[in-house]
Amino acid sequence: MRRLLTTTLAVSAVLASLALGGGGHASAAERVVLGGGSGIVLTQGDQQTLCSLTVIGNDSENRIVGLTAGHCGDVGDAVAAEGDPESVGRIATVLPTYDTAVIEFDAARVAPVSTVGSTTIAGIGDPARLADTVCKQGRTTGSSCGFSYGDLLHSHQIFAQMCVNSGDSGAPVVLGTSLVGMVNAYLVAPCVGPAVITDIVAVLGEIDRVGGPGAGLRPAA
């Protein structure tokens, strides 16, 4: 069974949930530090969902943009750093075929970084192949690495034996320091079955084809 990896919260539980980790609190005069693997909170009405940021950087129009899993929210949803209740951006586009959401951030509110935890994103890499060792950085389970099965279905999805759980949706998957995918789901059970990963090259190609926020995305240096 394929299971998505969001964590949904009721508004009454927001304060307790935001204390679980991820980005730190910032005053109105400060910028929130965000990078691939940071925890983010997406708000729609009275529902809040915890996910992981895949990558952040600038697009061809020099907007600060980022990616996460598409099932984390809908167009227009507010996005905040986990641990800071103030919105720092909104979902601009959702690509259902690739289970990807593009976030446009407020440049005055965020400070993009290339390293979160033990994961550094220095560029974009080709899809992981069979027997590659890939690693992910998620807001729930942190860093974990595992064996890649490659593109078993000859699609835009890769499978890898690594630990993922609810809240890790959108987590960046890297080969060395190259971003190769985002976590979207797991099979069977958390941290048991393989993780389902979307090929980042395919994602970026579709964003470029559609145009708008995110087209020409370059990861933060």
Domain ranges of the chain: 2-115, 116-203
Please determine whether the domains at 2-115 and 116-203 fall in the same fold group of CATH: yes
% of the chain beyond a pLDDT of 70: 87
- How confident is the prediction for the chain on average, in pLDDT? 89
pLDDT one-digit tens code per residue, 148-159: 999 988 889 999
* Per-residue pLDDT at 14 exceeds 70: no
Contact predicate 32/116, CB 8 Å: no
How many CB atoms neighbour CB 220 within 10 A? 19
Contact predicate 11/46, CB 8 Å: yes
Q: Can you say whether the dihedral through the CA atoms of 64, 23, 83, 68 is positive or negative? A: positive
For domain 116-203, give the fold.
Thrombin, subunit H (2.40.10)
In DSSP terms, which residues pair with 104 in a beta bridge? 65, 90
Residue-wise burial string across 57-68, b where 16 or more C-beta atoms lie within 10 A, e elsewhere: bbbeeebbbbbb
pLDDT one-digit tens code per residue, 67-86: 999 999 999 999 999 999 99
For domain 2-115, give the fold.
Thrombin, subunit H (2.40.10)
Q: What's the pTM?
A: 0.88
